[in-house]
Structure 1
């Protein structure tokens, strides 16, 4: 039962990603061909590889992480949140990876919404692409399913119904939690990053998602909502 999970060991996490290049024209000829092959069966016949490039931010081979926000529960029932955000993805990942040198995170349990399909593999892949080993909690090779320290609120909500998909926003609504999408949503991240060049706005959005994620998990445990306290040490 999730009620038996020690909350102080749970690391709530959310990432924001964008295409690795701001436009199709910035890709090399080789990258354009590889993108065409990668997306051929996902695109409808009338959609060109160029038009479909706006989706590159959801594919780790063609995108990059611009923000990782994390939250952990303190003894006074506040959620302390910290963000790693940088145009230099390698620097961002290196700083994020150093976090796991802390004794407190030795047996940490990762929690994200749709994390098993998106956040966790994305982080691991981008570490490898940048020439670094992923932190231990993101490494899955050789582990039995029950040995992998990952929680996914979307999976918890499915209750074995693999056809079900629910957004973080909708799940927050049904649990009576304030929406994290009061300013922007995921579809706007790329344009805010490349056109408006407002990384801080994306960080604020990512941190709201972390607080919402933690409160959804609390509701699933029949517990009260958390407050937030920025700057996790």
Structure 2
């Protein structure tokens, strides 16, 4: 029991997050002319074996940049422990065509935690999820919660966990997708249906919300299980994973 009690304490006020992002518009032609020019300039620096136009690069890469993309879904996961100290996971999906609505809902959740005590965890969060989220909050005129206010803080004061960084062991050039980590760590989770760069296509061409939301749910569950395995904590049993309204 002492080990279980230790994990309960160490995982208190943890919030696992996963962003699903898409291009800001269905195509480059729909983008404001001022941003179009900026994208055309930016896309000149992209390299590929394929010959892609600025419009082609927009379809493929715009979702990766907060200046040109937007958030359509945030998967949020929180852990709690039962009387037998077994971990349970509650997953909530914030999804909408209106990004501002998603971000407001996210702030409502985050603001329930005591300032200075909330820890975020994401895969590649330090290079993608946390900065992308912060930039989109600013673009939408919304306040940054204390957990995302990192300017001027010392590294140990920033409560941001990153499963990719954990796996890199200092090798910043090494990238491994979350699905790969789940496979090599032998974690029995549902494989992700696609890679993130296909989300724009699924959103704009098919507008298939059930599949997008299932992808978000699977990503959060996988993230939690990978983190638990990495730090030596017990995995969450399938029957202890619930969706929150």
TM-score scaled by length of structure 2: 0.88
* Counterparts of 1:222 and 1:166, CA distance in 2: 20
Does 76-85 or 46-55 show the bigger shift? 46-55
1:149 equivalent in alignment to 2:154: no
- What does residue range 157-196 of structure 1 map to in structure 2 within 5 Å? 157-196=167-206
User: How big is the shift at 1:188?
Assistant: 2.2
Partner of 1:136: 146
User: How big is the shift at 1:138?
Assistant: 1.1
Partner of 1:231: 244
Partner of 2:34: 30
Partner of 1:40: 44
Change (3 A) 1:154 1:97: same
Residues 126 and 162 in structure 2, CA contact (< 8 A), matched pair in contact too: yes
3-state SS in 2 of match to 1:116: helix
Change (3 A) 1:61 1:106: same
Partner of 1:59: 65
3-state SS in 2 of match to 1:96: helix
Aligned to 2:79, which of 73, 92, 110? 73
* Counterparts of 2:197 and 2:67, CA distance in 1: 19
Unaligned runs of 5+ in 2: 1-5
* Counterparts of 1:106 and 1:85, CA distance in 2: 27
Kindly provide the CA deviation profile for residues 47-69 of structure 1, in whole angstroms up to 9, marking residues without a partner as x. 22111112101110000000001
User: How big is the shift at 1:161?
Assistant: 1.4
Kindly provide the CA deviation profile for residues 117-164 of structure 1, in whole angstroms up to 9, marking residues without a partner as x. 000001000000001112211111121111001000000111111221
* Counterparts of 1:92 and 1:103, CA distance in 2: 18
Unaligned runs of 5+ in 1: none
Does 105-114 or 11-20 show the bigger shift? 105-114
User: How big is the shift at 1:101?
Assistant: 2.2
Partner of 2:3: none
Residues 100 and 106 in structure 1, CA contact (< 8 A), matched pair in contact too: no
1:221 equivalent in alignment to 2:244: no
Does 73-82 or 173-182 show the bigger shift? 173-182
Partner of 2:23: 19
Instruction: Kindly report the root-mean-square deviation, in angstroms, between the aligned alpha carbons of the 2 structures.
Output: 1.9
* Counterparts of 2:65 and 2:190, CA distance in 1: 23
3-state SS in 1 of match to 2:242: strand
